[in-house]
A = this chain, B = another copy of it.
Amino acid sequence: MTPLRSASEPPPSPDTARASQTKKRTRIQAEKEARILDGALEVFSRYGYRGATVDQIAAAAGMSKPNLLYYFRRKHDIYLAVLRRTLAMWLQPFEEIDAAGDPAEELSKYIAKKLEFSRTNPQESRLFASEIIQGAPQIQGVLGGELRALVERKASVLKTWAAAGKIIDVDPCHLIFMIWATTQHYADFASQIEAILPDRSKDDVIDEAYGPLTSVLLRGLLPR
């Protein structure tokens, strides 16, 4: 199981692939690597790791396969790079929950941010979901380390709020899961939603979702 290195750490071994070089990047490197990550996101989010092919990714990135492999020597390296980028985006709103803020406002802001993420980054959401459904083989470490610590920290914030009578007193982890599940659903299960509500655009559905989500979750969470 290859661990996820942060982009700033040096590569562990000699590696001619350009994407792993820590020294200065050329203009072309930066541009091509960005295109590759975008193409890879598209393909991996649709087919999962094993279902995606390097040829597909190269085509999506608008370059030849050998050219792509000049920047990322292995399919696996591309996957780790997109996954790392995605994980960072996924985590950010969660970190921003402010213990000092008003519970109702903080939670409704968090719900709004997660819903907005489902609108603007559905592929990232699906890539993440796909990795987890498949047992999170590549990011187990991060989930059990960084994410777990973060959840514990935020859970204790929710506990404080509960102790102060500001929200109801139930296991905060499950509250967090509820928010994750309901908001990510609009990205991960978009094709199901589209089939069920064919007359409404994806954007409209997410606009509509905001009301029911906040009203049910906040009504359910806040004391009367």
- A192-B51 CB under 8 A given contacts A46-B134, A174-B209, A182-B178: no
A177 touches B185 (CB 8 A): yes
Dominant SS at the A interface?
helix
B-contacting residues, A131-187, CB 8 Å: 132-136, 140, 143-144, 147-148, 151, 168, 170-171, 173-175, 177-178, 180-182, 184-186
Choose from B173, B184, B196 the contact partner of A173 (Cβ within 8 Å).
B196
Contact across chains for B168 and A215 when beta carbons are under 8 A apart: yes
Q: CA–CA, A189 to B125, complex, Å?
A: 13
Q: How large is the interface on A (under 10, 10 to 19, 20 to 34, 35 or more residues)?
A: 35 or more
Q: Pick the contact of A133 from B130, B175, B181, B209 — CB < 8 Å?
A: B130
Given A185-B181, A191-B132, A197 contacting B173 (CB threshold 8 A): yes
Given A134-B48, A174-B209, A220-B217, is A140 in contact with B196 using a C-beta cutoff of 8 Å? no
Interface residue from B144, B171, B211, B217 paired with A198 (Cβ < 8 Å) = B144
Distance A192 CA – B128 CA, assembled complex (angstroms): 10
A57 in the interface (beta carbon within 8 A): no
- A159 to chain B minimum Cβ distance, whole angstroms, is 13
- Shortest C-beta distance, A87 to chain B (Å), equals 12
From residue A47, how far is it (CB to closest CB) to chain B in Å? 5
Q: Does A212 lie at the interface of the complex (its beta carbon under 8 Å from any beta carbon of B)?
A: yes
Q: How far is the CA of A198 from the CA of B171 in the complex (A)?
A: 15
C-alpha gap A144/B151 in the complex (Å): 37
Which residues of A are interface residues toward B (Cβ below 8 A)?
A: 45-51, 126, 129-130, 132-136, 140, 143-144, 147-148, 151, 168, 170-171, 173-175, 177-178, 180-182, 184-186, 188-189, 191-193, 195-198, 208-209, 211-213, 215-221, 224
